[in-house]
C-alpha cells in the first residue's frame, strides 16, 4: 500500500452530545489523546464540544479550516444518518470539498451500547483512529446534477391519484394518469355516503373526476396498465399498454345505445361487488370518466361465437370497432406517483361467519352498492331475495383485521364505516341495529361526535368480537333468522342475537398484485404487502427510490381525507423537484474501468437497483450514476476488480482498518504483524 506522500492537515472534533456520549465516553480525554497520539497521522487540531451539530459547533470547524488551513475533517459524534449532511455543508461553506469529511459514530455504536466507561473510551479512540486513517485517502468528489423531466406519471385513478394529478396539472405541469379500469374513480365511486358528513360519495367525487378527465394538462389513459419502467429520477422511460376498448373514442358520444342493445348480461364482480349485472359492452357506472364504453372480450358473444354485433349495428356514429389492437405508448416522465389503492379482505376465509354460505351475510362493499341509489337495488336495503326488508341488522367489526389468523393490523376505516352503515340502515328501514365491536376507533375530526350521534339514534352497541354467525336456530323466535353468537364483554354475558341480515366490515388488504407492481417500479413492500414509505413518521409519501412516491391506501389502510392529503403531499414533493429543475445525486457511486472490464455481466445481474447497463457495442458494463445507490454489491461481484465504488475504494477501506488496528495495538488489544 502506498503511503500518502504529503501529510494532510486533519481536524478532529469529538462531540459530547450533552450526556449522550459524554456520560459514558471520556470525551475530553479522547480529544487530548487524539491530539497527542494521532499527530503522526496528520491530526493538527483536536477539540471536544458539547453539541457539534449546533451553529457554534459548526463554526468551530469552519474557523479551523480557514485559520489552520485544514484539508480534512473528522467528527466523532452520532450517526451519519442524522448529521453527515450538516457537517459536509459546513466544510463546503469553508471551502473544503464535502467528500473530504468523515463522520464516525461514537454514540449509537459506542456510548449507547455499553455502560463500561473504560471500554467505551477505548473504543472511541479506535473509531477515531480508523476515521483519521481513512480520511487521509479520501478524494474530492462532485455530486451529479440530473435534469428533471417535468412530466409526471400518476398510476391509479382513485381519489388519491385524482387529487395528485389535479394539484400537479393546476400548477401548469403535465400528468399522465394511468388507470386499470375503464373509468377513474376507484373505490370511492362505489360508496353510498361518506363519513362523517354523510356526503354522497359520487357527488363529491364526480366533479374532481370530471376536472381530471378534461384537464388540458392531464393525459388520462384508462383501461391501461404500466408494463415497464426504466431509468431514474428526472429521467424515467415508461411503457404503457393502452388496452383495446374496441370503441373509437373520437366517434363515441357516450349515448349508451350499445349497452342498452347488448343481449349479453354479465355479473359485475368489480364495480357492483357481485350484486348486480352489466353488459358485455359497458361503462362501469353512469358517471364514468371517460364515458366511452369498453367491450369485455371474455364475455362478448362476438368474440366467443362470432355472432351478434348488436352494438355495432345500433351505434349511431359507427364508433364500435371490433378487433382493435392494444396500443403501446412509451413516455418520458421525471417523477412517478403510485396511488393504486386497496382490495377488500375476502370474508369467505372466515368460514364461521358464513359469508358465501349463508345468504343474508353481506360484506361492506356489497352493502355500499345496495345502499347506493344508483345501485342494483336502487338504494333499498333488502335481503338476498331482493324483496324482504330486514327488521334486525347486525354489523360486525374487525372481520379479517386485528387477527393473527388473517391480518394483524387494524384497517383504520371500519369503525367509522360501521357507524355509517348503522345510520343508513336505521334511516332507510327503521330496523333495530346491533353493532359488535372490540374497540371504537374514531380518532379524526368530528368522528367521535359521529359516534355520539349513533348512540343517540339508538344503535345497540355490544362490545364483543363476534364468535360465530350461523343458521342453527333452536330457541323460539329465532326461526328463519341468522344467529350472531358473541360475548357482551361489558356485562359478561354470552348472547345469541337473532338478526335478519349481517354486514361484515371486512378489512382492507393490499392489491393482490402489489408485490409485482412494487418490483416494476423499484420499490419495496412491507410484510403485509403495503408499499413502504421512506420514513413512517416524517416521510410517508416518499419511497427509498428517488422519484417514486406513494399516496393513498396503497401505502396502508386509510380513509378518504388522508388519501386526499397524501395525494396532495406527493404532488407537492413532485412539484418541488420539478421546480428545482435539476437534482443533486449522491456522489458515492460505482464506476467501471472500461479497460479492465471483461464484459461478463455479473455486475448487471447482481445490482439490486438495476443500475448497471451492458453496452452491446462496447461489450462493457456501464453504471447509471443516477440509479446507483453505492451499495457495493457490484464491486464484490466483479472478478477482474474493474469496478470501483467512489468514496469507498479499497485503499480507503484498508486505511480505515489499519487506522483502527494501530490504535488497538497500542492498547494491546490485538497482535499486528
Partner 1 sequence: MKEFAYFPGCSLEKMASSYHLSAMETTKKLGVKLNELDDWNCCGATTYFYIDELLAYTLCARNLAIAEKTGLDVVAPCSACYKNMFFTVAHLKKDEDLAEHVNFALEEDNLHFSGNVNVKHLIEVFAQDIGPDELKSKITKPLEGIRIAPYYGCQIVRPQKEKEDVEQPQFFEEIISAIGATPVNYPLKMRCCGGSLIISSRTAALTMVRNLLQSAVDNQATVIATACPMCQVNLEVYQQQVNLEFGTNFSVPVMYFTQLVGLALGLSHKKLGIGKEFVAMAPSLLAIGQE
Partner 2 sequence: MTDTITFGQEISNLLHAAEGEPLKTCIQCGTCSGTCPVAGYMDNSPRQIIALINLGKKEQVLESNTFWYCASCYHCTVRCPQEINITELMYALKRYSIWKNHYQEGLIGPTFSEAFVKMILRGGRSFEPILAPSYIFSFNTREFLQEIQGATELLLKGRLPMLPARIKRLENFRRMIGRIIPMGGLE
Interface ranges with partner 2 (CB under 8 A): 352, 398, 402-405, 438, 463-468, 485-489, 492, 494-495
Spatial neighbors of 201 by CB under 8 A, at least 6 apart, are 188, 189, 190, 191, 192, 193, 194
Indicate whether 474 belongs to the interface with partner 1 (CB under 8 A).
Answer: yes
Indicate whether 493 belongs to the interface with partner 1 (CB under 8 A).
Answer: no
Indicate whether 576 belongs to the interface with partner 1 (CB under 8 A).
Answer: no
Provide the residue count of the chain.
673
438 binds, among partner 1, partner 2, none (CB under 5 to 8 A by kind): partner 2
Q: Residue 441's Cα: distance from chain center in Å?
A: 23
Q: What's the closest the beta carbon of residue 493 comes to partner 2, in angstroms? A: 9
Q: What's the closest the beta carbon of residue 473 comes to partner 1, in angstroms? A: 8
496 or 534: CB nearest partner 2:
496
On whether the CB atoms of residues 528 and 407 are closer than 8 A, the answer is yes
352 or 666: CB nearest partner 1:
352
122 or 397: CB nearest partner 2:
397
Spatial neighbors of 593 by CB under 8 A, at least 6 apart, are 642, 643, 644
Which residue is listed with cell 456522489? 587
**Distance between CA atoms of residues 465 and 437, nearest Å:** 6
Which residue is listed with cell 423499484? 522
92 or 470: CB nearest partner 1:
470
**Distance between CA atoms of residues 326 and 241, nearest Å:** 7
154 or 462: CB nearest partner 2:
462
Question: 470, 613, 624, 649: which one contacts partner 1 (CB under 8 A)?
Answer: 470
Indicate whether 305 belongs to the interface with partner 1 (CB under 8 A).
Answer: no
470 binds, among partner 2, partner 1, none (CB under 5 to 8 A by kind): partner 1
CA distances from 352 to 414, 461, 469, 570 (A): 20, 21, 6, 41
- Gyration radius from the chain CA atoms: 32
**Distance between CA atoms of residues 556 and 514, nearest Å:** 12
494 binds, among partner 2, partner 1, none (CB under 5 to 8 A by kind): partner 2
Which grid coordinates are listed for 671? Answer: 497482535
Indicate whether 485 belongs to the interface with partner 1 (CB under 8 A).
Answer: no
**Distance between CA atoms of residues 641 and 595, nearest Å:** 11
**Distance between CA atoms of residues 569 and 462, nearest Å:** 39
**DSSP helix/strand/coil, 271:** coil
Identify the burial level of 288 via C-beta atoms within 10 angstroms of its C-beta, where 0-12 means exposed, 13-18 middle and 19 or more buried: buried
241 or 496: CB nearest partner 1:
496
404 binds, among partner 2, partner 1, none (CB under 5 to 8 A by kind): partner 2
489 binds, among partner 2, partner 1, none (CB under 5 to 8 A by kind): partner 2
Indicate whether 404 belongs to the interface with partner 1 (CB under 8 A).
Answer: no
Indicate whether 472 belongs to the interface with partner 1 (CB under 8 A).
Answer: yes
Q: What's the closest the beta carbon of residue 494 comes to partner 1, in angstroms? A: 13
Q: How many residues bind partner 1, per CB under 8 A?
A: 7
Q: Segment contacting partner 1 (CB under 8 A): 13-21, 51-59, 465-473, 600-608?
A: 465-473
493 or 524: CB nearest partner 2:
493
**Distance between CA atoms of residues 211 and 473, nearest Å:** 53
Indicate whether 408 belongs to the interface with partner 1 (CB under 8 A).
Answer: no
Q: What's the closest the beta carbon of residue 492 comes to partner 2, in angstroms? A: 6
Spatial neighbors of 210 by CB under 8 A, at least 6 apart, are 289
Q: What's the closest the beta carbon of residue 351 comes to partner 1, in angstroms? A: 4
Residue 25's nearest CA partner among 104, 132, 125, 102 is 125
Which residue is listed with cell 492537515? 9
Q: Segment contacting partner 1 (CB under 8 A): 62-70, 381-389, 464-472, 639-647?
A: 464-472
Q: What's the closest the beta carbon of residue 511 comes to partner 2, in angstroms? A: 24
Which grid coordinates are listed for 91? Answer: 466544510
350 or 422: CB nearest partner 1:
350
**Distance between CA atoms of residues 412 and 399, nearest Å:** 12
Indicate whether 624 belongs to the interface with partner 1 (CB under 8 A).
Answer: no
Which grid coordinates are listed for 599? Answer: 464484459
Question: 225, 248, 471, 559: which one contacts partner 1 (CB under 8 A)?
Answer: 471
185 or 354: CB nearest partner 1:
354
Q: Would residue 630 be called left, alpha or beta, if left means φ above 0 and alpha means ψ between -120 and 50 degrees? A: left
Q: Segment contacting partner 1 (CB under 8 A): 103-111, 211-219, 466-474, 560-568?
A: 466-474
Residue 28: Cβ within 10 Å count: 13
| DSSP type of residue 110 | I
Q: What's the closest the beta carbon of residue 354 comes to partner 1, in angstroms? A: 9
Q: What's the closest the beta carbon of residue 505 comes to partner 1, in angstroms? A: 20
Site for partner 1 in 342-381 (CB under 8 A): 351-352, 357
464 binds, among partner 1, partner 2, none (CB under 5 to 8 A by kind): partner 2
539 binds, among partner 1, partner 2, none (CB under 5 to 8 A by kind): none
Spatial neighbors of 394 by CB under 8 A, at least 6 apart, are 433, 434, 435, 436, 466, 469, 482, 484, 497, 499, 501, 502, 503
Q: What's the closest the beta carbon of residue 352 comes to partner 1, in angstroms? A: 5
Residues at the interface with partner 1 (CB under 8 A)? 351-352, 357, 470-472, 474
Amino acid at each position: 500500500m502506498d503511503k500518502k506522500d504529503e501529510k494532510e492537515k486533519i481536524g478532529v472534533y469529538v462531540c459530547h452530545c450533552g450526556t449522550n456520549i459524554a456520560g459514558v465516553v471520556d470525551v475530553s480525554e479522547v480529544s487530548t489523546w487524539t491530539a497527542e497520539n494521532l499527530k503522526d497521522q496528520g491530526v493538527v487540531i483536536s477539540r471536544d464540544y458539547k453539541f457539534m451539530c449546533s451553529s457554534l459547533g459548526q463554526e468551530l470547524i469552519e474557523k479551523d479550516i480557514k485559520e489552520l488551513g485544514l484539508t480534512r475533517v473528522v467528527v466523532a459524534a452520532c450517526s451519519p444518518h442524522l448529521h453527515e449532511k450538516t457537517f459536509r455543508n459546513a466544510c463546503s461553506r469553508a471551502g473544503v470539498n464535502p467528500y473530504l469529511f468523515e463522520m464516525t459514530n461514537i454514540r449509537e455504536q459506542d456510548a449507547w451500547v455499553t455502560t463500561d466507561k473504560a471500554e467505551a473510551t477505548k473504543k472511541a479512540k479506535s473509531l477515531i483512529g480508523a476515521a483519521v486513517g481513512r480520511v487521509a485517502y479520501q478524494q474530492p468528489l462532485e455530486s451529479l446534477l440530473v435534469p428533471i423531466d417535468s412530466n409526471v406519471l400518476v398510476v391509479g385513478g382513485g381519489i388519491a391519484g385524482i387529487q395528485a394529478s389535479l394539484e400537479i396539472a393546476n400548477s401548469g405541469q403535465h400528468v399522465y394518469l394511468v388507470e386499470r379500469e375503464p373509468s377513474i374513480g376507484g373505490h370511492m365511486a362505489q360508496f353510498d355516503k361518506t363519513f362523517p358528513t354523510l356526503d354522497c360519495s359520487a357527488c363529491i367525487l364526480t366533479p374532481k373526476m370530471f376536472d381530471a378527465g378534461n384537464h388540458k394538462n392531464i393525459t388520462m389513459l384508462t383501461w391501461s396498465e404500466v408494463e415497464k419502467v426504466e431509468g431514474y429520477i428526472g429521467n424515467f422511460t415508461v411503457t404503457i399498454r393502452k388496452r383495446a376498448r374496441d370503441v373509437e373514442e373520437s366517434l363515441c358520444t357516450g349515448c349508451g345505445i350499445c349497452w342498452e342493445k347488448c343481449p349479453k348480461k354479465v355479473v359485475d364482480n368489480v364495480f357492483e361487488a357481485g350484486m348486480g349485472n352489466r353488459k358485455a359492452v359497458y361503462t362501469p357506472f353512469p358517471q364514468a370518466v371517460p364515458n366511452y364504453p369498453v367491450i369485455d372480450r371474455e364475455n362478448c358473444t362476438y368474440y366467443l361465437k362470432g355472432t351478434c354485433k348488436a352494438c355495432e349495428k345500433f351505434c349511431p356514429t359507427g364508433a364500435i370497432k371490433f378487433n382493435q389492437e392494444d396500443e403501446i405508448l412509451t413516455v418520458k416522465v421525471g417523477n412517478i406517483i403510485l396511488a393504486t389503492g386497496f382490495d377488500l379482505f375476502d370474508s369467505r376465509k372466515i368460514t364461521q361467519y358464513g359469508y358465501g354460505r349463508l345468504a343474508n351475510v353481506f360484506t361492506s362493499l356489497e352493502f355500499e352498492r345496495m345502499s347506493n341509489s344508483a345501485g342494483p337495488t336502487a338504494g333499498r336495503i333488502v335481503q338476498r331475495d331482493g324483496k324482504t326488508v330486514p327488521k334486525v341488522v347486525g354489523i360486525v367489526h374487525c372481520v379479517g383485521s386485528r387477527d393473527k389468523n388473517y391480518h394483524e393490523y387494524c384497517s383504520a376505516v371500519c369503525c367509522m364505516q360501521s357507524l355509517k352503515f348503522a345510520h343508513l340502515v336505521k334511516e332507510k328501514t327503521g330496523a333495530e341495529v346491533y353493532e359488535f365491536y372490540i374497540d371504537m376507533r374514531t380518532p379524526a375530526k368530528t368522528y367521535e361526535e359521529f359516534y355520539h350521534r349513533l348512540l343517540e339514534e339508538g344503535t345497540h352497541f355490544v362490545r364483543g368480537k363476534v364468535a360465530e354467525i350461523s343458521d342453527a336456530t333452536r330457541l323460539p323466535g329465532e326461526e328463519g333468522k341468522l344467529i350472531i353468537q358473541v360475548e357482551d364483554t361489558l356485562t359478561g354475558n354470552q348472547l345469541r342475537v337473532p338478526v335478519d341480515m349481517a354486514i361484515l366490515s371486512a378489512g382492507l388488504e393490499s392489491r393482490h398484485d402489489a408485490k409485482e407492481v412494487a418490483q416494476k417500479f423499484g420499490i419495496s413492500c412491507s410484510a403485509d404487502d403495503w408499499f413502504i414509505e421512506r420514513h413512517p413518521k416524517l416521510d410517508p409519501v416518499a419511497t427509498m427510490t428517488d422519484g417514486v412516491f406513494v399516496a393513498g391506501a396503497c401505502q396502508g389502510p386509510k380513509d378518504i381525507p388522508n388519501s386526499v392529503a397524501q395525494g396532495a403531499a406527493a404532488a407537492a414533493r413532485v412539484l418541488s423537484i420539478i421546480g428545482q429543475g435539476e437534482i443533486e445525486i449522491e456522489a458515492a457511486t460505482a464506476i467501471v474501468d472500461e479497460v479492465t472490464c471483461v464484459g461478463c455481466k455479473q455486475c448487471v445481474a447482481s445490482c439490486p437497483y438495476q443500475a448497471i447497463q451492458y453496452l452491446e457495442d462496447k461489450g462493457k458494463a456501464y453504471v447509471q450514476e443516477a440509479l446507483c445507490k453505492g451499495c457495493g454489491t457490484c464491486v464484490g461481484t466483479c472478478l477482474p476488480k474493474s469496478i470501483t465504488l467512489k468514496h469507498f475504494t479499497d485503499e480507503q477501506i484498508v486505511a480505515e482498518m489499519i487506522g483502527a488496528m494501530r490504535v488497538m495495538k497500542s492498547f494491546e488489544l490485538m497482535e499486528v504483524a
